[in-house]
Structure 1
Amino acid sequence: MTHHRTRPDRGRSALGPALQLVHTGRAPTRAVLTAELGVTRATAGAVAAELQGLGLITVDARPAVAAGAQGRPSHRLAVDPGGPVVLAAQVHADGFRAALVGLGGTVVATAPGCGDVDPDPVRVLRQVVAAGVELLERTGRRCVGAGLAVPSAVAEPEGTALNPLHLAWPPGAPVRALFAECLADAGVTGPAPGAPAPGHAANDVNLGALAEHRHGAGRGAQHLLCVATGHRGVGGALVLRGRLHTGSSGLALEVGHLTVDPQGRPCHCGSRGCLDVETDPLALLDAAGREPGPESSLLHQARELLRTGFPGDPAVRDAAHLLIDRLGLGLAGLVNILNPDRVILGGLHRELLRADPERLRAVIAERSLWGRSGEVPVLACSLEHNSLVGAAELAWQPVLDDPLLIQEV
């Protein structure tokens, strides 16, 4: 069945921006939507009604009136909790996880994480997709796309994972094409009904930063710097005015290979003393004199060590201070170069910030230019699964750009 787009051009062009405003929580009412879009009240109402008809948002025409409020309350807008979802997946050094994520960054369902990562990326991606398909069958939700987060720089436009240093995958693995093939074989669809999902893929820290900017601690920042540990290693990302800064070929912000101790540990990249090996979970365990165990991921072990041993255990305290000082040195350099208006920290770095925020901020301020870099807010990432949510953002983007993609054709 073919639908003809006969609505006024202004209303049609407002569908995507309107959905993005509701998706990111910036338009909780129709009145706010009207103001943000710069359209008439009637146009905003028509746009909201169409998005509701597509099963993407809900419109509450009779919201409760707050005590003491005057005038008729505006219609409330929210993402439809029973609407379509995307399949989001993350592969990391200690395993992988699949989830279904709705609009608004809401994780609808997750599959149990797997702790084994095969050296053949095809086998891993088949398992990831199979876990996602099982979730779709169990929940009965409609899928409109799929996104993948990987612990590697992903070159554009090829979609190849150039340096999966903490995986046994071969350098240059064509992860985006392989992911798309696995999705097609499993029958996972994209926005258009019946069409295969294209299979989006990108670096995990980039995607975590994107998710935090839209739904978490980075919301509202114009120049957002994110630095985070994965299960191994360190990554960074920059979001400028709502868009990821990926450089000319997707490889920008490889902050893990910023040297913070020239005499430090050998790094996988061939240098020494990089953030990647001086401030990741293994570095904390080693500095505290702890042997990593097989019972859980390195990230989980490092987090638990901080939570239970800081500041009471001198070895843990000294190790944490060592990593905080090195992290602060790296952040000061990045802040001086990039001049962000907010810095967010994820993974183990989030726990280091929480353990001793004054020390970290003091290190940054001490090495700041003109005394201004020390004034930049440094916050903890607030989303527990931000790379998964960011992978979902990749898959949602075509629908956010043109919501009519999901209607019947």
Structure 2
Amino acid sequence: MNGKSTSTRTKLERGRSALGPALELVHTGRAPTRAVLTSELGVTRATAGAVAAELEALGLIKVDSSPGSAAGSQGRPSHRLSVRDGGPVALAAQVHSDGFRAALVGLGGRIVATAPGCVAVMADPAQVLGEVVEAGAQLLRESGLRCVGAGLAVPSAVAEPEGTALNPLHIAWPAGAPVREIFSACVRAAGIPGPAFTANDVNLAALAEHRHGAGRGAQHLLCVATGHRGVGGALVLDGRLHSGSSGLALEVGHLTVNPEGRPCHCGGRGCLDVETDPLAFLTAARREPGPEESLLKQSGDLLRTEYGDPDVRAAAEELIDRLGLGLAGLVNILNPDRVILGGLHRDLLQADPERLRAVVADRSLWGRSGSVPILSCTLDHNSLVGAAEMAWQPVLDDPLAALA
């Protein structure tokens, strides 16, 4: 083989090895132009152009070769890069204590379509997962879009590598239910192509926020969130979820923040899980939970519309103080560079940000000299988007192999 052929093959291999990193840069919004892509990849303009063209040929991104120049700008504008409308999607599913929902999610974390959510979760996980997968399959049939795989978010720690739900405390599933195996079987039975994945809902919310929301740019991102019931946590380190040795890391809901507090499902007392979730807020505010709406929606609406009521304000302050104690302990142990809050915790932060930040600063080791930023999650349905991220990951790793 002559030198010219060897050089051509080397350039081609280098370009193909850059496809995954390039797609991830566009997917997460970090490479809006070809010039930025060139810089981020550390390749030549020609190689970046070839990589972008290959991703466009695969139907994943759009390359705009004639973007308009900004007013007063000099020189020829760089080609703009964006995820392609009408491109492939991932099927995302979420189960929580108040029902389930299915969606189709494209690159960039874009929710393309959603199915009406069920409002009750049966005790048989196979029945529930069969129904949510069928809802997703119907969306795929109606859309005609290509599917790259499926992801499921569940309100339980998911043990690795077996994929069992160890503690579905707020739904009536048996402990240790093989949710990954059941979900994968339902996906295959529905004729949905691609791999199937299952993980904890707050872990997936953190992953989605890190890639597309309030966690962008953080190196050590701590996420704490209330679901429809209970409290969960997650840690993203250098872009990857920290799940521990067997998938069970960051069970922050069972930190004790009130030793004399409410009994917890785990057998303890005064855990974050029962001291700062929607039911705890409604109870502290002397409001009777209604059957017509989820506890999360009821508590959020109450906080936003009746904060002037003395009982509501007192309940909010009580939960903020408990949450602040838990966050301070986590900050001392994990030393994150950003904390994001979801669910009711996001609403509590927005109701009185100074109070929450003051509690964390007062109880954390270095809080007085420079508190860690505490921000609200910004994505709607972030657990659904995170479930889709799992299905997209093989494509981000190797687009050619995944889409072959």
Given the two structures, how large is their TM-score scaled by the length of structure 1?
0.95
Over the matched positions of the two proteins, sequence identity in percent amounts to 79
In structure 2, what is the equivalent of residue 149 of structure 1?
A: 153
Task: Supply the distance in 2 between the matched residues of 1:308 and 1:121 (Cα, whole angstroms).
Answer: 36
Task: Supply the distance in 1 between the matched residues of 2:382 and 2:338 (Cα, whole angstroms).
Answer: 17
Question: Is 2:280 the partner of 1:283?
Answer: yes
Question: Is 2:264 the partner of 1:304?
Answer: no
Question: Is 2:205 the partner of 1:205?
Answer: no
Q: Supply the AA of the counterpart residue of 2:201.
A: D
In structure 2, what is the equivalent of residue 57 of structure 1?
A: 61
The Cα shift of 1:383 comes to 0.3
**Cα shift readout 1:255-295 (whole Å, capped 9, x = no counterpart):** 00000000100000000000000000000000011110111
Q: Supply the AA of the counterpart residue of 1:11.
A: G
**Cα shift readout 1:155-175 (whole Å, capped 9, x = no counterpart):** 111111100000110111111
- The aligned length equals 396
The Cα shift of 1:370 comes to 3.2
Task: Supply the distance in 2 between the matched residues of 1:397 and 1:234 (Cα, whole angstroms).
Answer: 26
In structure 2, what is the equivalent of residue 186 of structure 1?
A: 190
Q: Supply the AA of the counterpart residue of 1:261.
A: N
Question: Is 2:263 the partner of 1:266?
Answer: yes
Task: Supply the distance in 1 between the matched residues of 2:284 and 2:402 (Cα, whole angstroms).
Answer: 52
- SS in structure 2 opposite 1:375? coil
- SS in structure 1 opposite 2:394? helix
Map 1:335-346 → 2, pairs under 5 A: 335-346=331-342
Q: Supply the AA of the counterpart residue of 1:330.
A: G
Gapped runs of 5+ residues in structure 1? 191-197
2:364 aligned residue (362, 368, 384): 368
In structure 2, what is the equivalent of residue 126 of structure 1?
A: 130
Map 1:103-114 → 2, pairs under 5 A: 103-114=107-118
Task: Supply the distance in 2 between the matched residues of 1:110 and 1:319 (Cα, whole angstroms).
Answer: 34
Q: 1:407 to 1:252 in 2, by over 3 A?
A: closer
Task: Supply the distance in 1 between the matched residues of 2:59 and 2:380 (Cα, whole angstroms).
Answer: 27
**Residues 340 and 375, structure 2, Cα contact 8 Å, conserved in 1:** yes
1:136 aligned residue (136, 140, 155): 140
**Residues 87 and 132, structure 1, Cα contact 8 Å, conserved in 2:** yes
Gapped runs of 5+ residues in structure 2? 1-7
In structure 1, what is the equivalent of residue 232 of structure 2?
A: 235
Q: Supply the AA of the counterpart residue of 1:336.
A: N
Q: 1:374 to 1:255 in 2, by over 3 A?
A: farther
| RMSD over aligned Cα atoms | 1.1
Task: Supply the distance in 2 between the matched residues of 1:67 and 1:355 (Cα, whole angstroms).
Answer: 40
- SS in structure 1 opposite 2:367? coil
Q: Supply the AA of the counterpart residue of 1:362.
A: A
- SS in structure 2 opposite 1:18? helix
In structure 1, what is the equivalent of residue 220 of structure 2?
A: 223
In structure 1, what is the equivalent of residue 5 of structure 2?
A: none
Question: Is 2:85 the partner of 1:81?
Answer: yes
Q: Supply the AA of the counterpart residue of 1:257.
A: H
In structure 2, what is the equivalent of residue 32 of structure 1?
A: 36
In structure 2, what is the equivalent of residue 313 of structure 1?
A: 309
**Cα shift readout 1:49-97 (whole Å, capped 9, x = no counterpart):** 0000000000000000111111111000000011000100000000000
- SS in structure 1 opposite 2:185? helix
Task: Supply the distance in 1 between the matched residues of 2:235 and 2:350 (Cα, whole angstroms).
Answer: 22
In structure 2, what is the equivalent of residue 22 of structure 1?
A: 26
Q: Supply the AA of the counterpart residue of 1:371.
A: G
Q: Supply the AA of the counterpart residue of 2:208.
A: A
The Cα shift of 1:176 comes to 0.6
